[in-house]
Amino acid sequence: MAAPRNIVILTGAGISAESGIDTFRAEGGLWEQHRIEDVATPEGFERDPDLVLNFYDMRRAALATVAPNPAHEALARLDAEFDGELLIVTQNVDDLHERAGARRVLHMHGELKSALCRICERRTPFEGTMRQRPACPMCESRSLRPDVVWFGEMPYEMDRIYAALRAADLFVSIGTSGAVYPAAGFVRDAREMGAHTLELNLERSEGSHWFHESRQGRAGELVPAWVEEILR
């Protein structure tokens, strides 16, 4: 294809796997260790808020023990050096894209280091733990919840994402199983609007056949090589 001028990248848990963060659907992954209905639904939170706050408190604390890997670093380099349009849409709630230096990042499933107030509905940066029920810095009610999109809730900034997909001439999906919508449908949306589509994943994902091209391997190797191709 001609040199791309407008790139949308979708990342998933696989890009952070080599940093030591568990993916969701691997053998022994997060969804084998915990039930989705318990820790990733509004109903689970109503039933047992302590269990849910604890789950995200632990995942937030674990961020201090991990670091960006060469895949995050390569995307940060692309962000700094690519002079066309770029949007990195991540399903990940970790902060490894930002810690690698990427700026054009959108967290469609929220962030561990953000809190959502159930009373005033504002989002504020958050460090530490929620199980002691800290007060919302905006309205002071003790109603903070993790700012993470749960099953049955709408992901963030879908209008902005679809606008970017419509304008993209290249869509690249990295380290995601293609099991969760709407993200799993982005490849079809981008393709219908004329983008070239590329998958970089350890194995063929559920939606692999939708991509023009699928490369299998570790993100830490595939992503730097692909970024090199784009910036050459």
Active site positions, annotated: 109
Q: Which is nearer to ligand OAD, 13 or 198 (CB)?
A: 13
CB of 33 to ligand OAD, least distance (A): 12
Q: Give me the helix-helix angle, 70-81 and 219-231, nearest 10°.
A: 20
CA 102 centroid distance within chain: 13
Query: What sign has the CA pseudo-torsion 40, 42, 48, 52?
Result: positive
Closer CB to ligand OAD, residue 219 or residue 227? 219
Smaller CB separation from ligand OAD, 26 or 62: 26
- Cis omega (within 30 of 0) for bond into 182: yes
Residue 136: CB minimum distance to ligand OAD, A: 22
How far apart, in whole angstroms, are the C-alpha atoms of residue 97 and residue 92? 9
Applying CB under 6 A, which residues contact ligand OAD?
Answer: 12-14, 17-18, 23-26, 29, 40, 91, 109, 149, 175-177, 179-180, 201-203, 205, 218-219
Estimate the share of the chain in helix, then strand, then coil, as percent rounded to the nearest 5: 40, 20, 40
- The distance of closest approach from Cβ of residue 2 to ligand OAD in the complex, given in angstroms and rounded to an integer, is 27
d(CA 220, CA 19): 9
Q: How far is the CB of 31 from ligand OAD (least distance, A)?
A: 7
Q: Which is nearer to ligand OAD, 74 or 169 (CB)?
A: 74
Nearer to ligand OAD, 7 or 93 (CB): 93
Q: With beta carbons less than 8 A apart as the criterion, state whether 95 and 113 touch.
A: yes
User: Which residue type, as a one-letter code, is found at position 14?
Assistant: G
Which residues on neighbouring strands pair with residue 114, listed in sequence order? 125
Give the CB-nearest residue to ligand OAD. Answer: 14
State the first-to-last Cα distance of the chain, in angstroms, to the nearest integer. 14
Q: What residues are paired with 227 via a beta bridge?
A: none
Smallest separation (angstroms) from ligand OAD to the CB of 217: 7
Rounded distance between C-alpha atoms, residue 120 and residue 40, angstroms: 21
